[in-house]
Structure 1
Amino acid sequence: MSKASIPKSSFLGRPPGQLLLDLWENVCQGRGDDGAEEQFVKESREWGSKGQKMLMRSATETQISQQNIPPLENDANYLLKEFLDERFPNGGIFRTAPREKIPDSTEDLKAFIAFCRRPDYIKHPYSPHWLGMMERDTPLVADIGKNIHVLRNCTSERYNGWQNHLKKMVGEVRFHIGPIRGQEKA
């Protein structure tokens, strides 16, 4: 198994996505593949400038009505729309807790983070923003929920349950998402 390490002190000085590239390059070099970074960067798409911003939990009706529906490619919600269309084409429950906290979680929030890190999307103008909001000790799930509501029919539920493996109550926000707009059953 290959191992890669980067000094913690160098985290802040890197542009978005560079840490992932550096780790990938180190792993591949450990396996004897010197062209890993070139291949990874070559597969990354250039997106151009930022489009419409994502909504924050305090967004007003005016701000909500200004969102592009469907989002344009450089809009923040384009990444979320593509993820939801891929993972929940017929709707479903978007789970926000990791399995370490709730063992039966489908880890959809973690999957969205991985989606934003894919080579096709890592250079999207809003990928760093989504990652910054979601890769936290306490992810900003109310903000992602506000944006899901723009893209799909959606209700949210706060789940609190006893977790025997942790010997405590654990909470999670779950989003019940409808199918892709226009594909709802009558």
Structure 2
Amino acid sequence: MFSIIYLLQNILFILIIIGIFRLIFGKAIREYHSNWSTLIDGFKYSSEDFYDKVKKELLSKEIQGISTTYIYRNIGGLTSGQRKYLRVMWKEYEYDICASPFGTGFFISWWLLTKDSLANRLIKRIPFVGNFLADKLYPKTYYKIDTASMFMTYANATVQKIIKDILNEKGVRALTELEKQPVLNNIFKR
């Protein structure tokens, strides 16, 4: 009887170590929430100027705890070039914005990501009961859903405002309502 308990403890310990290893070196701790993109054909604009306008507009709203930085993402594999993104951070949310010339046009996209805690990720990996425990210890509350929606709505509205201002300034057709709609992922499912 003692050897079975000892064996089960060792298996559980190994599973936890494997889970930690996979968590650290495997999947990122960020989860995709939503995204949006558009290509404005026949339009040229500076990525840096676009990022500066978005930063200025976002920071002027005095939201407590909001900050910005630049990140670089690989275009392809490890040895490929990189593209510069503007990252806007608030609470556990990250909003990555891409603005880039593309062919004869100007491409703009954003990705909203949520950060998941290390503890929650570890609990989810416990065989058989992990998701149940994670649901109880880290529930997806209305507050969490609402704050993700608030941040996404606010950041998207800011990007849309800057696009509208730039297009008006250059005398180019504004985006339609359909072109402004983000693509939502069901981040709150388990």
Greater helix proportion: 2
Scaled by the length of structure 1, the TM-score of the pair is 0.22
Scaled by the length of structure 2, the TM-score of the pair is 0.22
Greater strand proportion: 2
Structure with max Cα Rg: 2
Higher RCO (CA < 8 A, seq sep 6+)? 2
